[in-house]
Structure 1
Amino acid sequence: MQQREAQAFWLREPGAGEIRSVALAAPGPDEVAVRTLRSAVSRGTESLVFDGRVPPSQYDLMRAPFQDGAFPGPVKYGYLNVGVVEDGPTDLRGRTVFCLHPHQTAYVVPVSAVTVVPEEVPVARAVLAGIVETAVNALWDSAPLIGDRVAVVGAGTLGCTVARLLARFPGVSVTLVDIDPLRARVASSLDVDFALTDRAPGGQDLVVHTSATSEGLQLSLELLAPEGTVTELSWYGDDVTSVSLGGAFHSGRLTVRGSQVGTLSPARRGRRTTADRLALSLDLLRDPAFDALLTGESPFETLPEVMPRLAHGELPALCHAVTYSSEASCSA
């Protein structure tokens, strides 16, 4: 294989992106060369990165596995990538794989960094693997029980993913809550109930919060039954979050628990690996209901123009995919 150069999307400085050439070394004996078929923008985190809103205290913790550069920029960032192995071990050549790699037309990584996508999972849906992995970790943290009443506040890609996984728990009642009435259609596709914020049902055993707003977190607390728990999945960057802990917070013995995919949930840390978690996530994507989250796409070459629109909410897609042409993938 004669791959020697690829194209990558870089954040030149907060608010401004560009396409750069990247030199590729030939893969070693324990490496694979991958040509990207599709990637996706993780809108919450990547919008904060694009706007330069990663707090300095979180620079090390927020590094993506194959990030180049450093915050606030220049930096190459992203972690939802599906490609085809073009060089490497014989049993992997030609296989479709998922990798936590930034937006780039081709790349060389260790074999251990890629996970084979099940044949039943289309490439377009497979880009959701990193989002599903976050949801899996959150549900390990949350430990919902059979028959629970659960609300998910925030019907973005992650909130919808959590809701769909919860819908598969026996006897669990799931309500997706959002300020946008158009999310009701997505909730229906995911086979969960929907409520606007002013009509969300109370008495919930568990609330999963993903809206990244103080108002959403406050509502999540207000929806809990006594001794209920909010699992907080939002990442606020450098935003200040305010919430009232008066009312029923103490008398109801309410709990707010943080969850983050960077480490395995303590509930499974001794019995699962991150590779196990990612393989499980790809297996869960056999479910065609997740196609309802694939609502926008654009060519790789347009990312410098598209990212500002995604970061500032001008493009309302849930999961925004990035498409790649084979001709632009690499050059010798």
Structure 2
Amino acid sequence: MKVNSDQTARALWITQAGKPTLLDTVLGDSPDGVRIKTLYSGISRGTERLVFRGQVPKAEFDTMRAPFQEGSFEFPVKYGYAAVGTIQSGPRAGQLVFALHPHQTQFSVPSSAAIPITPSVPPARAVLAANMETALNILWDAELGAGSRVTIVGAGVVGALTGYLFARMPGTEVCLVDTNPDRATIAQQLGCDFAHPDQVPQNSDVVIHSSASSAGLATAIAAAGVEATIIEASWYGTQPTTVPLGGAFHRKRLRIISSQVGRIPAHMAARWTYGKRLRKAIDLLADPVLDALISGETEFDDLPQSYEAILDASSTLCHRIRFAQD
């Protein structure tokens, strides 16, 4: 039986490790749902690369599921969580919204999952919302005080957004650390200092690690001052991790704690919901300087040919996907 074109969409699927393709997907509607035509989506390089390579641990299959993922991490799988589009019908018709949905030309989600985009935030920039939500959660986990000295090891999009938030707290000194010297310009634009790992600042009050590498974690530990806290914001998947707990780690009485966007920190959970946090993350994207974190753009039809290169390129921050605008 032929399915009407308005009941189908095309989506990016990973059919097996390292194999992306565009496939037709039948749309389902629910009584409380909204149909959204996608304008843009964003590639979250770190997580999507682990999914693409089949490096999500089996023990984490349930916790790592994206809200509207289809398939499984053993393939095929449709994965992603940064879509921006326009509601097509009903009382909210024409409204620009963000949804935690994979890369797909149109889709249906419950109305509560379609988060309105603040008028001051252009839809092309709103693809950063999921990453900003992660950065906001990291800030909460750090319980940062005004005037703190902060070092962020790993100036990818999450690390850079975290630096942007921290740099706007009164008196805070923030340094982004990365092996890529090109990130120095971005750090300056975001109001942060920049250093190569060989020149990492010492005696930081809080250190954020977001490079997803053992070398980066060692750098983070070296940057921490006495009684300081290291926030581990990386996701390693199945990659083994070496943690250097010798040297000054015990003498300095350091703490390493994890930050994961799937949970709201305990000291905030009584007052915040996931929806409220995501709405705040969208509001925080009003600053035009954040356009510097969009490192490239690809047409959706060209995505299967470009996807692997985008994920592998060390220069990738948030790569934006543009959908047909008709």
* Counterparts of 2:60 and 2:316, CA distance in 1: 27
**Residue deviations 1:40-77, cap 9 Å, x none?**
10000000000111111111111000000001210000
Residue equivalent to 2:315: 316
Given residue 108 of structure 1, which amino acid in structure 2 is its aligned partner? S
* Counterparts of 1:9 and 1:142, CA distance in 2: 35
Given residue 11 of structure 2, which amino acid in structure 1 is its aligned partner? A
* Counterparts of 1:162 and 1:64, CA distance in 2: 22
Does 2:111 align with 1:108?
no
Contact 1:98–1:114 (CA<8 Å) still a contact in 2? yes
Given residue 200 of structure 1, which amino acid in structure 2 is its aligned partner? V
2:257 partner SS: strand
1:37 partner SS: strand
1:128 partner SS: helix
Residue equivalent to 2:68: 66
Does 2:4 align with 1:5?
no
* Counterparts of 2:181 and 2:132, CA distance in 1: 24
**Residue deviations 1:206-258, cap 9 Å, x none?**
00010000000011011011000110110001100002101111111100010
2:20 partner SS: strand
* Counterparts of 1:321 and 1:212, CA distance in 2: 22
Contact 1:224–1:254 (CA<8 Å) still a contact in 2? yes
* Counterparts of 2:146 and 2:157, CA distance in 1: 24
* Counterparts of 1:177 and 1:316, CA distance in 2: 15
Residue equivalent to 2:149: 149
1:250 partner SS: coil
Unaligned runs of 5+ in 1: 328-332
Identity of aligned residues (%): 45
* Counterparts of 2:148 and 2:240, CA distance in 1: 32
Contact 1:141–1:266 (CA<8 Å) still a contact in 2? no
* Counterparts of 2:147 and 2:268, CA distance in 1: 22
Q: TM-score, normalised by structure 2?
A: 0.97
Given residue 229 of structure 1, which amino acid in structure 2 is its aligned partner? T
Given residue 206 of structure 2, which amino acid in structure 1 is its aligned partner? L
1:230 partner SS: strand
Residue equivalent to 2:22: 19
Q: CA RMSD in A?
A: 1.3
**Which of 283-292 and 124-133 deviates more?**
283-292
1:150 partner SS: strand
Residue equivalent to 1:49: 51
1:127 partner SS: helix
Change (3 A) 1:3 1:309: same
**Residue deviations 1:258-304, cap 9 Å, x none?**
00001111121111000110010011011122111011010111121
Contact 1:51–1:311 (CA<8 Å) still a contact in 2? no
Does 2:324 align with 1:325?
yes
Q: TM-score, normalised by structure 1?
A: 0.95
Matches within 5 A, 1:96-245: 96-245=96-245
Given residue 318 of structure 1, which amino acid in structure 2 is its aligned partner? L
* Counterparts of 2:27 and 2:213, CA distance in 1: 41
Unaligned runs of 5+ in 2: none
* Counterparts of 1:226 and 1:158, CA distance in 2: 26
* Counterparts of 2:16 and 2:138, CA distance in 1: 32
Contact 1:214–1:243 (CA<8 Å) still a contact in 2? yes
Residue equivalent to 1:29: 31
2:124 partner SS: helix
**Residue deviations 1:128-187, cap 9 Å, x none?**
000000011111111110100000100111110000011110100000001111110111
1:2 Cα deviation (Å)?
7.8
* Counterparts of 1:326 and 1:282, CA distance in 2: 23
Residue equivalent to 1:330: none
* Counterparts of 1:311 and 1:65, CA distance in 2: 21
* Counterparts of 2:257 and 2:305, CA distance in 1: 37
1:32 partner SS: strand
2:310 partner SS: helix
Contact 1:129–1:278 (CA<8 Å) still a contact in 2? yes
**Residue deviations 1:13-34, cap 9 Å, x none?**
0000110001123x44311000
Given residue 160 of structure 2, which amino acid in structure 1 is its aligned partner? C
Contact 2:45–2:316 (CA<8 Å) still a contact in 1? no
1:60 partner SS: coil
Residue equivalent to 2:295: 295
Given residue 264 of structure 1, which amino acid in structure 2 is its aligned partner? I
Structure with the greater relative contact order (CA < 8 A, sep ≥ 6): 1 or 2? 1
* Counterparts of 1:74 and 1:109, CA distance in 2: 21
Given residue 270 of structure 1, which amino acid in structure 2 is its aligned partner? A
